[in-house]
Amino acid sequence: MTRILPGIIAMAAIVVASNILVQFLLLDGLLTWGAFTYPFAFLVTDVMNRVYGAGPARKVIFVGFVTGVICSLIGTQIMLQGDGYAYPAVAVRVAVASATGFLVAQLVDVFVFNRLRHGAWWRAPLASTLVGSVLDTALFFTLAFSQSVVFFGPAADAQISWAWEAMPFLTFGAEVPLWVSLAVADWGVKLAIALIALVPFRLIVGRLMARIV
């Protein structure tokens, strides 16, 4: 466990930072600062997987999952005031969606990485992160905001109904529910960071492997 402690700390820090920074909006609300920190969770997972293997990587993921659940539970208990009524900082649907998206996407990341780990050094981290990012974005935004998901109940739906408002796609296209634009913008950031993260992946893996040898 000691050898993967830096990975555990890094994953927990990313999850906590993302849960805080998601409250701060950018580009008229299309993005949050959390969108720029959260994708680095895939970098942590891939580094742990490359250096120590799938088992330790899954342990790091579990820590991130538990950390995220704790953050979400705290957020659901913090009440904010707006338009004459109180509402939780984190809606129930958003909390469930966040935990589900994180866990599924990260575990699939490990699976894809392992299938490609013996190819070119960049192929496994890039492919696994891209697949994981698509899953994370699709699961999170669908569960959190889609009107097609009805099993949370009317009370939970009321907390996120703002995301159903019809708006121009990415502020300039045809009108779509706001959450669709949010999802596409979020995935675009994940894609960009997946490419950028190849550089620190290469450097960090090289240093850790040198220490092991």
Count of structural domains, the chain: 1
* Helix or strand holding residue 117 (H, E): none
pLDDT tens, per residue, the chain with 213 residues:
788 999 999 999 999 999 999 989 998 889 999 999 999 999 999 999 999 999 999 999 999 999 999 998 888 888 776 665 667 778 889 999 999 999 999 999 999 999 999 999 999 999 999 999 999 999 999 999 999 988 888 888 888 899 999 999 988 889 999 999 999 999 999 999 999 999 999 999 999 998 876
For residues 124 and 115, give the distance between their C-alpha atoms in angstroms, rounded to a whole number. Answer: 8
**Where would I find the beta strands (DSSP E) of 83-142?**
85-88
Question: b/e per residue, 4-20, with b = 16+ CB within 10 A?
Answer: beebbebbbebbbbbbe
For residues 73 and 67, give the distance between their C-alpha atoms in angstroms, rounded to a whole number. Answer: 10
Of 192, 181, 137, 146, nearest to 30 by C-alpha is: 181
Domain of residue 25 covers: 2-212
The model's pTM is 0.93
pLDDT, tens digit, for every residue of 93-142?
Answer: 999 999 999 999 999 999 999 999 999 999 999 999 999 999 999 999 99
Q: How is residue 112 written in tokens? A: 């894809």
Q: What CATH number is attached to the domain comprising 114?
A: 1.10.1760.20
How many beta carbons lie within 10 A of that of residue 64, not counting itself?
25
Burial of 142 (0-12, 13-18, 19+ CB in 10 A): middle
